[in-house]
Amino acid sequence: MASSKLMMKMSSSTSRNSDLIRRKSSNSSSSSSSTNHHHHHKHPSIRINNNSGVFDMTVDGLLPTVHNNNEQQAPESTLLDAEITLLDAAVRTSSNGGQKTVDDVWKEIVAGRSCKQEVPDEMMTLEDFLAKAGAVEEEDVKIPPPPLPSERLSGGIFSFDNPIHPPNVDGVVGFGIGVDEMGGRGKRRAILEPLDKAAQQRQRRMIKNRESAARSRERKQAYQAELESLAVKLEEENETLLKAKAEQTRKRYKQLLDLPSRSEACYHEEQQLTSGIHLLVNAQTIVRLSNYILRVSIRVL
């Protein structure tokens, strides 16, 4: 019963089956090349977190000029792409000129994940990169990067990250872009500095957790794959064993059928022997008789 499932999973996916088995097969079939598992929608420059479409919508109409240099993607997921673009621009101007660096680093990290502390320092890991970017941002907002149709709207829009007023002490800041929102420019550093620190910490934690989640997912996926492979292997091994057992049983049965033949041969031999013996025994009686006759004859003589 179970073998059928695994077999189905291994087989092609022609039948319509929402049993979450064919999904696997289709997946394995769709991923034509090997070892490239999960870079589906990574063509955009970085495309990190763009969930929670709330932003997307809010920023959508307000920052149309920010993300139009990427390939035209869905009108959603703009704020974070804007952020990334911003960060990317900020870093591109500072460290290296390649645009795909982040993606490459990330891919590299994902690829050679087991041993840590790769990419010595120049190519920092994605989280460091982002964290540093977030940290740098605090200063960068003054000197706005190339694209920023900054009106009062930009402040109002980007102000998602900082606790608007000192609302709660906990670092419940959503996003660490670092752009403040206060209308008054006077008491910025006085109040926002600790909050920004907390925000940065939170941001760092989030980024770390993001990467960790990616690792965990990968591990889990590997485990799952291994498990399936193991199941398949065990299954066929089981089948082989079962077949061997059947073969052995058959052989044994045959031998059991053959052993009587052997013992039958033995029996026949014995039979022949005993029959011969019977003959000889008869002959013996004859001998006795002739002895008797002989004795009688001699006595007569």
Nearer to a copy of itself, 102 or 173 (CB): 173
Give the closest residue to 79 by CA, choosing from 153, 131, 136, 135.
153
Could you give the CA distance from residue 191 to residue 169 in angstroms, rounded to a whole number? 12
Nearer to DNA, 37 or 92 (CB): 37
To the nearest whole angstrom, how small is the minimum distance from the Cβ of residue 96 to a copy of itself?
A: 30
Apex 51 CA angle, 45 and 57, nearest 5: 95
20 binds DNA (CB under 7 A): yes
- Identify whether the C-beta of residue 218 lies closer than 8 Å to the C-beta of residue 113: yes
Nearer to a copy of itself, 59 or 141 (CB): 59
- Burial status of residue 162 (CB atoms within 10 A of its CB: 0-12, 13-18, 19 or more): buried
To the nearest whole angstrom, how small is the minimum distance from the Cβ of residue 92 to DNA?
A: 20
Instruction: Pick out residues in 182-241 that bind DNA (CB under 7 A).
Output: 205-210, 212-217, 219-221
273 binds, among DNA, a copy of itself, none (CB under 5 to 8 A by kind): a copy of itself
- Identify whether the C-beta of residue 57 lies closer than 8 Å to the C-beta of residue 45: no
Could you give the CA distance from residue 228 to residue 9 in angstroms, rounded to a whole number? 10
208 binds, among a copy of itself, DNA, none (CB under 5 to 8 A by kind): DNA
Q: Which residues neighbour 201 within 8 Å (Cβ) at sequence distance 6 or greater? A: 171
To the nearest whole angstrom, how small is the minimum distance from the Cβ of residue 47 to a copy of itself?
A: 16
Nearer to DNA, 30 or 168 (CB): 30
Number of neighbouring beta carbons within 10 Å of residue 138:
19
18 binds DNA (CB under 7 A): yes
Nearer to a copy of itself, 17 or 99 (CB): 17
16 binds DNA (CB under 7 A): yes
- Burial status of residue 91 (CB atoms within 10 A of its CB: 0-12, 13-18, 19 or more): middle
Instruction: Pick out residues in 72-131 that bind DNA (CB under 7 A).
Output: 73-74, 76-77
Nearer to a copy of itself, 36 or 284 (CB): 284
Instruction: Pick out residues in 124-153 that bind DNA (CB under 7 A).
Output: none
50 binds, among DNA, a copy of itself, none (CB under 5 to 8 A by kind): DNA
To the nearest whole angstrom, how small is the minimum distance from the Cβ of residue 239 to DNA?
A: 26
**Residue 129: both structure tokens together:** 């990169």
Could you give the CA distance from residue 127 to residue 272 in angstroms, rounded to a whole number? 94
Nearer to a copy of itself, 102 or 177 (CB): 177
Instruction: Pick out residues in 44-63 that bind DNA (CB under 7 A).
Output: 48-53, 56
Could you give the CA distance from residue 26 to residue 8 in angstroms, rounded to a whole number? 11
**Residue 45: both structure tokens together:** 């420059």
Could you give the CA distance from residue 253 to residue 251 in angstroms, rounded to a whole number? 5
- Site for DNA, rule CB under 7 A: 13, 16, 18, 20, 23-24, 26-27, 30, 37-42, 48-53, 56, 73-74, 76-77, 174, 205-210, 212-217, 219-221
